[in-house]
Structure 1
Amino acid sequence: MSTSRAPRTWFLTGASRGLGATWAEAILARGDRLTATARDARTLRPLADRYGEQVLALELDVTDTASVNDAVSTAEKRFGGIDVLVNNAGHMLHGALEEATEDQIRAQIDVNYLGAAWTTRAVLPGMRERRAGHIMQVSSIGGLVAYPALGIYNSSKWALEAMSQSLAAEVAAFGIHVTLVEPIMFPTELGSASPQVTRNPAYQHAREALFAGAKSAGFEVGDIATTADALLALADAPAPPLRVLFGTGGLEVLRTEYAGRLAALEEWDHLSRLAQGTPNGG
């Protein structure tokens, strides 16, 4: 543990697998305190066995506001406050809009967007009172670009992006930072471990376009272990960014995406001006 800083207290959702499990281990290994949450608390027992009183392992369904409020209250009572919130819990629904059921669509928004909103709301009073805190929202490159056969997942992340950008402006006066962490491609089993649609052959072209797009972008699978180094560096930054990509290849994709959006808007600016009309109808 570094002697140059005081230990922080973290609250991490989705701590039992993938990026969350890697981050939980790194947070605790450097001497910080952690409330680690998962839908099944039994999956967190090995973490609790290794780190004892340094970790608080809680069962949490982020879609249940009472459960969220209770977990945050328990964490604050145990550790005296929360310095860093990491909203990592989520899943990826892979399928075209017509293929997904109503329940699947609602569940995607409930977990990825509303779950993060409820947890964020729960920690804000304590952070405002202490006039300090860092909220990290785990978004995705798919929170900035929408892909075929991932539109429902993408929409949950786009909603998270919008809420978090507004939130950052709302809470800056209280000394609270907000950062959207946007991973690109890591072997987390996010897709395979998530509920999936019943495929309609009519949308096979959309699935092929999704994979062709990822291939043409040149995305390479990153190392989960080193994402923990990046996360800890982000927590240590005195002036953290609103957005940060985890992984490489995203910048070029975004340059192309935003250039295309601007070009299309300019091409159809004549309709924008037509819609505007003239002052006073003259």
Structure 2
Amino acid sequence: MKSKVILITGASRGLGKIWAEALLKRGDKVIASARNIDSLNDLAATYGEAVLPIQLDVNDRDQCFAVVRQGYEHFGRIDVLINNAGYGLFGAIEETSEQEARGQFETNVFGLLWMTQAIIPVMREQDAGHIIQVSSLLGIVSGPILGIYNASKWAIEGLSESLAAEVKGFGIKVSIVEPNAFGTDWSGDSAVKAKPIALYDGIKEAFYGYFKPEMIGHPEATVPAILKLVDSEEPPLRLFLGKMALPRVQQVYADRLAVWESWKEVSVAAHGH
């Protein structure tokens, strides 16, 4: 199979770093972007000219366009964009400050949007491309203590579903990746935690106590799924990662449908004719 050129944001650690290395290992070329470019030194030392490390803060729209332009000029094409940059914000809705909420959306939503806008003209000119948006199981179903993070991922879902319809005629595919919980640093040092209000201690204890070790996926185990997605001629719009995701969605949607059906007469009457 012909090697591809893949641009990955947030390639400094976690899933982004694991995927970047897996792609390089099998012979693809990777434009690896991160806020801290030193975190990419090991990839550069191992894979040489096959990797182009670039410093990028996705919150800077001009920088997003510049990185796409630099990557395209360096390799002559960009086949895949993996919009992976993002972080978690832990805290109840009431606990979350304006700065924390705006910062979450700046990176998780607007950063993804700027990279998407930057890559579309390149892929349209190529008449081919694949945009992979890293969302979350929490972009499909919500839970407490991560409300603003949930909201940012729900925004990605709506944006990307519309995008898929808009760019299909240009030969551009769109996929949304929906990981369940994985054993990365996502909930550790890379996360932001709101100033706690004691009234929410009980629900936090229940939330954190819900997760058992077997519910947390191994990050390296995602590699075959991502490689298959990158290689797919007809990739799915949504791809769950992990064994907990689909059963949870099936349960939540069954409950939703049952409630909506029970309110059906009220809904229809609201139409007016």
Scaled by the length of structure 2, the TM-score of the pair is 0.96
Residue matched to 2:270: 275
Aligned-residue offset at 1:264 = 1.5
- Partner Cα separation in structure 2 for residue 212 and residue 180 of structure 1: 28
Amino acid at match of 1:271: V
Q: Distance in 2 between matches of 1:57 and 1:149?
A: 35
**Larger CA Rg, structure 1 vs 2:** 1
Instruction: Establish whether residue 208 from structure 1 lines up as the match of residue 208 from structure 2.
Output: no
What residue is the counterpart of 1:136 in the other structure? 132
Alignment gaps of 5+ in structure 1? none
Shift of 1:195: 1.4
Alignment of 1:20-169 (within 5 A): 20-169=16-165
Over the residues paired in the alignment, what is the CA RMSD in angstroms? 1.4
- SS of the counterpart of 1:136? strand
In the TM superposition, what is the alpha-carbon distance from 1:212 to its structure 2 partner? 5.2
* Matching residue within 196, 199, 204 for 2:196: 199
Q: What is the deviation of 1:207?
A: 1.6
Offset, 1:171:
0.9
The ranges of structure 1 where at least 4 consecutive aligned residues each deviate by more than 3 angstroms after the TM superposition are: 211-215
Q: Helix, strand or coil for the counterpart of 2:53? A: strand
Match of 2:235 in 1: 240
Find the residue that maps to 1:276 and give its secondary structure. coil
Give how far 1:210 is off: 2.5
Identity %: 45
Instruction: Give 1:214 shift.
Output: 4.5
Give the superposition deviation at 1:27.
0.9
Secondary structure at the residue paired with 1:222?
Answer: coil
Deviations 1:140-163 (A, max 9, x none): 110100101111001100100111
SS of residue in 1 equivalent to 2:270: helix
Give the TM-score normalised by the residue count of structure 1.
Answer: 0.93
What count of residue pairs does the alignment treat as equivalent?
A: 272
Query: What code does the residue aligned with 1:55 have?
Result: V
Residue type at the aligned position of 1:211: Y
- CA offsets 1:117-175 (integer angstroms, 9 cap, x no match): 11011010010111100111111110100101111001100100111111111111111
- Mapped to 2, the partners of 1:205 and 1:11 lie a distance apart of 42
- Distance in 2 separating the partners of 1:273 and 1:69: 46
**1:222 equivalenced with 2:217 (yes/no):** yes
CA contact (8 A) 1:219 1:248 kept: no
Residues 184 and 219, structure 1, Cα contact 8 Å, conserved in 2: no
Shift in Å at residue 277 of structure 1? Answer: 2.0
Match of 1:256 in 2: 251
| CA distance in structure 2 between the aligned counterparts of 1:97 and 1:223, rounded to whole angstroms | 29
Which residue among 247, 261, 265 is the counterpart of 1:266?
261
- Matched with 2:173 is 177
Q: How far apart are residue 45 of structure 1 and its match?
A: 1.2
Q: Secondary structure at the match of 1:181?
A: strand
> Which residue of structure 2 aligns with residue 13 of structure 1?
9
8 Å contact kept, 1:92–1:194: yes
In structure 2, stretches of 5+ residues that fail to align are none
1:191-250 Cα deviation digits (max 9, x unpaired): 1121110111111233234335555xx962222112112111111111110001111022
Separation in 2, partners of 1:160, 1:94: 18
Once the two structures are TM-superposed, the CA of residue 30 in structure 1 deviates from its matched residue by 0.8
